[in-house]
Chain A
Amino acid sequence: MRWRFPSAKRLIERIRSGADAKVSRWVRKRQGEDHLPLTLRSKRIYILPTSVGVTFGIVCLAMLLGSMNYNNSMGFALTFMLAAIGLVAMHRCHQNLAGIRVLSATAEPVFAGDTVEFELQLHNEGRSERLDIEAYVGKQIGAADDIPGEGIGRLRVSLPTERRGQTVVERFGIRTRFPMSLLNTWTWMYTPCTCIVWPRPAADAPPRPPAPARARGNQGNQGDDDFAGLRDYRDGDSPRLIAWKTLARSDQLKSRQLSGGGTDTTWIDFAVTPGGDLEYRLAVMARWIIDAERAGERFGLRLPDGEITPDQGKTHRDRCLNALALVTPVPELRHA
């Protein structure tokens, strides 16, 4: 292996992340598990100067030395004014975060590869407006927002997802640099928040094999030929269902809908999915579930570790997708 020159940037990054982890562990031990809703009090609010703030301090010091050297009274006045402004900024920065009540942290499920958006709901219990409040998770920082006095604010922070499973945020941060970006006031909340990541529906999913997917125990509704109506053609529809006559008439590809849609039950079964790895099979199932729901079908789900009884509608679809996402082994993406 080739020897690599140690890069200062990498070294600093390593020291930084090491210190971060240490501080985080200490804070975790200090604060313990948090339960929402909670009010941000001084005990859990931390404050440190930003790089601009550090520069500001150095500039003040330089000005102080200069004023002393030149015995310049106005120089002293300017220096003291800047120092006073810095102190006031510190106070206001802290006050800007203290007393906010965090009501909830939620996230809507997403498909793998999309970004998941965590939403924190905050209640400003004070009368004065809170400005430039940002939520963050790790290095992902959400947009700054203001919370009106005695009002509700919503902070969002987006995280990327890769695979189906769960995205778990172990630690939320809320920070503010108001008013002058000299100081960074922040708080950490150890409130594990999970977002389910559905498998991304396979784009090249084969059509669902119709015959074996027929339900057991429906009332002898054998015929597929009971014509019930037409609907738009969707990928995976059997050629037998295509309404050729309609196509000839109107150039529109329609599928025949068969009768018994209300009562007829189909099963989406893990066992009939085409071979391949688990993730691909789940992706195919996700595609089938979405199609089935869109078609208004009544369907059940069979997975190796259980089944979901047939039903229809969006809620049912979400439940099935959740089940797919949580098929063991569940991949987890943790953010601290």
Chain B
Amino acid sequence: MRSTGELKKSLSWTLLALLFAYLPHLLNKPIWISALLLLCMSIRWWAEQSKGPLVNAWVRTPIGLICFVAVLQTYNGLNGVAPGSALLAVMAALKVLETRTQRDQFVLLFISLFMVLAGFLVEQYLWSGLFHLISVSVIVTAWLAVGRRGKPLSDGWYLRQMRRHMLLSIPVLIAMWVLFPRVPGPFWAIPTESGKANTGLSKTMSPGDISQLSESDAVAFRAEFEGIPPAKDQLYWRAIVMGRFDGRSWASDDPVNNRVRDKCVTARGQEARYKVRMEATNQRWLFALDMPSDWEGRGVYRSRVQTLQRRRPVDERIEYTVRSFLDYNADPELLPRTQRFYTHLPEGSNPRARAFADELRKTYPDQRDYAQAVLNHFTEQPYYYTLSPPALGREAVDEFLFDTQRGYSEHYASSFAYLMRAGGIPARIVAGYQGGETYPFADYLIIRQSDAHAWTEIWLPQRGWVRVDPTAAVAPQRIEQDLDSALREFGERSDSLFELAMLERLKLAWDMVNARWNEWVLGYGPETQKELLEKLGLQDVGWRDMIMLAIVLVGIMTVVTGYLWIAHQPPRPDYYQALFRRAQRRTGILARRGETATGWAHRVGREHPENSLAARRFARHYLRARYAGNTTARRRLPLTLFGIRGRWRNRFRRIAHSNQK
């Protein structure tokens, strides 16, 4: 056990480290856990200040058991990050109470480290990353203070040591970051609560359920175009195709393995190339502009319904490159069976809509005319675009078309597709995102969750699937500008809510920094690593090669540092003697027994004036290096040898001469 003064110093650092590590958790933990931890820390701190006794084990143990049960009750088990970090906090609280020795403090510091890790598992924003860096610094400082065995030093000293330590570790950190083989996980199941929250899309759609999605400002993905991005009304990012309809809701019709290799999409005109940086969704779908033609990316394929998918769910940030045709023919031939699938409507559902369709179809026998007529119906009748439409009952299409007439993209897409099918035209719903925010500083678009959209595709013989967006007929601002304009048009948003232009720019600048952070820090995974190494000229390296590479690099580093270290060691005395002997040989004048270097240099000056300066220079450096430990002189000493002009013949003669003597 250490004396009180020592404990007090290191204990205050330990408590500070714990506090920093816990701060990011403060708000998302039940209040009683935070209160318990802070209370225990205060009690311990007060006990140290007043030199009071510590809390008895008879008190601590029951409290610990109660807390454990409380955590179990709060989270219904211990699986997952949230209950895990809650348990850590409780453990820390109880450990704080009994902290007495150096060992106890180390346990607290380990708990703090795990808390920081848990913080990363919850969120990985740039600002939280910076905060956690501070936490780690405080933990390291505390570590230095606890590890100190002599009398305690000043806080400034510990901070300086911490700074030095962290700075020294940065090169190693970067090397490990870039080169440590990233083995694709996961190894065990992750209980995730975030899967659904992360994505703005779902595989089913039933208009009538109010969407929370459109209000979310979170970034869904970013797209970087080669050249100028297409116009906003061309930016339809398709993700899911829904063809299965049960009278009220649409479901995705793509079975798992329906990839196609043949060219079902052909170009009719303009194309676009772009790179998509996508956030984790824990889903298999990817985003691509209508219609994706070629793509690059590991495990990416195109489904039968012209969407891009990935073999494994997107559980990390990924990147892929796509070429899309903005004007296209998709699936110009469709099997009669498939046509029947896309015109299927359940018997007896939505009778009013069906009657309306039959009526209209008789007036317009041509498919295109019929579709246009339906769109005109949306424009002419008082349909409203709103994010909070009334709830719909069982016959959702009927109710929307003839009663409520208020809705957002899903309602329009759903009823349009219904009317198309009722008119015998194959139709399906496409869900994805529409638009994207252009950037004043950078060369990419941000697509946010609020850009989520649904539209319709109808199939025309010889022409294939054609995109029809009924929402555009009702609220063209939604497509040409953005959601805000559309809502403003329909009086749902006032100008006062608009942020200032300056704030907007700041927001975008921050987003750009964040994008780079995401790309280079958070998104650095097996694929990015591979890409980077390929850029460095290392093609096709697996993670086993990476390990080999790491070993080789570490070996090289060891040799280099070893060399530097040896070079840095003060040389042995006979090293100087050897140099002196070399100088003597070079001038051809051997030092007499007991003669100092200075004496020798003077003699050289008398006998060989041309070497006078050089010999004196050598002697000066020799004395400084050998006897004053001057490092500069030590470094220069071998160089001074070259200043001595030795003449072979003379030298040999003189040596022979002195030997004869």
Interface of A toward B, CB cutoff 8 Å: 52, 55-56, 59, 63, 65-78, 80-85, 87-89, 91-92, 125, 131-132, 134, 143-146, 177-182
Contact = CB atoms under 8 A, between A and B. Distances in A.
B187 A65 contact: yes
A214 B62 CA distance: 79
Given A71-B185, A80-B180, A81-B173, A88 B165 contact: yes
Given A68-B183, A74-B124, A84-B170, A177 B165 contact: no
B149 A69 contact: no
Interface in B385-442: none
A70 B186 contact: yes
B127 to A, nearest CB: 12
A131 B150 contact: yes
Nearest to A134: B149
Contacts of B106: 52, 55, 181
Given A71-B316, A74-B124, A77-B521, A83 B172 contact: yes
Contacts of B172: 80, 83-84, 87-88
A231 B530 CA distance: 95
A66 B117 contact: yes
18 contacts: A67-B117, A68-B187, A69-B186, A70-B186, A70-B190, A71-B184, A72-B124, A73-B523, A73-B524, A73-B525, A78-B113, A80-B172, A88-B169, A144-B150, A178-B149, A180-B147, A181-B102, A181-B146
Contact of A71 (B147, B149, B525): B525
B132 A74 contact: yes
B321 interface: no
Q: What 4 A-B pairs have minimum CB-CB distances, sorted nearest first?
A: A84-B169, A84-B172, A181-B147, A74-B120
B110 interface: yes
Nearest to A58: B110
Interface of B: 102-103, 106, 110, 113-114, 116-117, 120-121, 124, 129, 132, 136, 140, 143-144, 146-150, 161, 165-166, 168-170, 172-173, 176-177, 180, 182-188, 190, 315-316, 521-525, 570
A180 B173 CA distance: 18
Contacts of A182: 147
A224 to B, nearest CB: 57
Contact of A74 (B143, B184, B522): B522
Given A55-B110, A73-B524, A180-B144, A84 B173 contact: yes
A226 to B, nearest CB: 59
A302 B607 CA distance: 72
Given A59-B110, A85-B166, A69 B147 contact: no
Contact of A75 (B103, B117, B148): B117
B165 A74 contact: no
A63 B177 CA distance: 14
A85 B176 CA distance: 12
Given A72-B120, A73-B523, A78 B136 contact: yes
A91 B187 CA distance: 34
A246 B124 CA distance: 93
Contacts of B525: 71, 73
A181 B109 CA distance: 13
Nearest to B517: A73
Nearest to B103: A52
A145 B150 contact: yes
Nearest to B128: A74
Contacts of A85: 140, 165-166, 169
A146 B121 contact: no
B522 A73 contact: yes
A75 B121 contact: yes
B140 A146 contact: no
Contact of A144 (B103, B149, B161): B149
Contacts of A84: 169-170, 172-173, 176
Contact of B147 (A70, A81, A143, A177): A177
A68 B177 CA distance: 13
Given A69-B185, A73-B521, A132-B150, 8 more contacts: A67-B117, A68-B187, A73-B524, A81-B173, A84-B169, A85-B169, A180-B140, A180-B143
B634 to A, nearest CB: 14
Max chain A CB contacts within 10 Å: which of B120, B136, B183, B188? B120
B555 to A, nearest CB: 15
A109 B48 CA distance: 42
A55 B143 CA distance: 14
Contacts of A75: 117, 120-121
A43 to B, nearest CB: 12
B471 to A, nearest CB: 36
Contacts of A88: 165, 168-169, 172
Contacts of B521: 73-74, 77
A144 B187 CA distance: 46
B557 to A, nearest CB: 11
Nearest to B106: A52
A89 B114 CA distance: 20
Nearest to B180: A80
B177 A70 contact: no
Contacts of B176: 80, 83-84
B190 A77 contact: no
Contact of A76 (B149, B170, B180): B180
A132 B148 contact: yes
Contacts of B169: 81, 84-85, 87-88
